[in-house]
Amino acid sequence: MYTQAMDTKDGDDVKAVRSAEEMQLQQRFDARIDAGDFIEAKDWMPENYRKTLLRQISQHAHSEIVGMLPEGNWISRAPTLKRKTILLAKVQDEAGHGLYLYAAAETLGTSRDQMIDALHSGRAKYSSIFNYPTLTWADMGTIGWLVDGAAIMNQVPICRCSFAPYARAMIRICREESFHQRQGFEALLTMMRNGTDAQKAMVQDAVNRWWWPCLMMFGPPDDQSPNSAQSMRWGIKRVSNDELRQKFIDAAVEQAKVLGVTLPDPELRWNEEREHWDHGPIDWDEFKRVIAGDGPCNRERLSARVKAWEDGAWVREAALAHAGKQATAKEAA
């Protein structure tokens, strides 16, 4: 997903387009966007387009990397070798997603170190969903089914994003997210079909805890998402938050029936007229609290990231020293 927090402003100070040359470049850029062309990193782009993308892609990258933590916590406690192998592969995929995205963001002129620093100092956001705890094994299946499921809904339209490096990264990421969603659903189905009563109750409890935070992954309602219209105009965002959320709910209701779990929303009912499932109110105060840093695991997640960065300092130093030696040897040759 992980694009929900991307509407947060960081004091944009967009310069007015002044020179005739800039106006011409702007017109050419607008025409290319209107024609559905892709923009490459070396092409001219308005400063605010660059900033918006940089914020969105780097925050998406942070979400992938922080998203490894809640599941990484369960690798050593997976119930079978098969489940451990699958979970390990999934968590490694998320690391790869982070790397593709950091690389795409770097093409916009910000270094990896600057992005990591923004995350560690709390200036950059990541998806609110990763600030919730993973209490039981059923959380692993539920994250795959619902969190990766919501991520797919959010990310498939980004494969057509106007900024080509982001679109290319997303195509590969979406293929892997599809595996993530399926493995989660299959893990839950196994427990619901063959499990004990206690295991079935564990699945239901996990679904109860993750359902509402998953709906928040799509970001605030359209009428409270002020930057969405501009992102739509630029072809960065293709489908609105509310539309994506509805699509996710409609799909999840049917999947929940197959699993035999109940979604924790008494107001969930089919609306003949709209041909969609109506749902109850989402607690946007909780969303704001978690985004602002006061969710159940915000501090734990950030400190785990900072510790990993500090523990890895010797690797970066060794790599730099090696690269330096190689460069000197090349010069001498």
Q: How far is the CB of 99 from Fe ion (least distance, A)?
A: 11
Residues 64 and 147 sit within 8 Å (Cβ to Cβ): no
Residue 87 or 207 having the CB closest to Fe ion: 87
Asked if 71 touches Fe ion (CB under 5 A), the answer is no
Two structure tokens written together for 315: 């690797």
Instruction: Give me 75's structure tokens.
Output: 């690798």
Number of residues that bind Fe ion (CB under 5 A): 6
Residue in 71, 94, 106, 265 binding Fe ion, rule: CB under 5 A: 94
148 in contact with Fe ion (CB under 5 A): yes
Q: Interface with Fe ion includes 180 (CB under 5 A)?
A: yes
Q: State the nearest-atom distance from the C-beta of 96 to Fe ion, in Å.
A: 8
Q: How far is CA 172 from CA 185, 193, 247, 272, in A?
A: 21, 32, 22, 37
| Least Cβ distance, residue 1 to Fe ion (angstroms) | 9
Of 128 and 199, CB closest to Fe ion? 128
Angle, CA 205 vertex, CA 202 and CA 211 arms, to 5°:
135
Q: 97 or 245: whose CB is closer to Fe ion? A: 97
Helix (H) or strand (E) holding 299: helix 298-311
DSSP class of 16: P
Residue of 97, 125, 200, 237 that binds Fe ion (CB under 5 A): 97
H or E element at residue 25: helix 20-34
Residue 230 CB-half CA count within 13 A? 13
Q: Which stretch binds Fe ion (CB under 5 A): 170-178, 185-193, 313-321, 324-332?
A: 170-178
Q: Of 7 and 64, which CB lies nearer to Fe ion in the complex structure?
A: 64
> What residues contact residue 107 under an 8 Å CB cut-off, 6+ apart?
41, 165
Task: Considering the complex, state which of residue 67 and residue 295 has its C-beta at the smaller distance from Fe ion.
Answer: 67
- Among the listed ranges 100-108, 148-156, 208-216, 239-247, the one in contact with Fe ion (CB under 5 A) is 148-156
Task: Please enumerate in sequence order all residues whose Cβ is within 8 A of that of 247, keeping only pairs 6 or more positions apart, or say none.
Answer: 153, 239
Q: For binding to Fe ion (CB under 5 A), which residues are involved? A: 64, 94, 97, 148, 177, 180
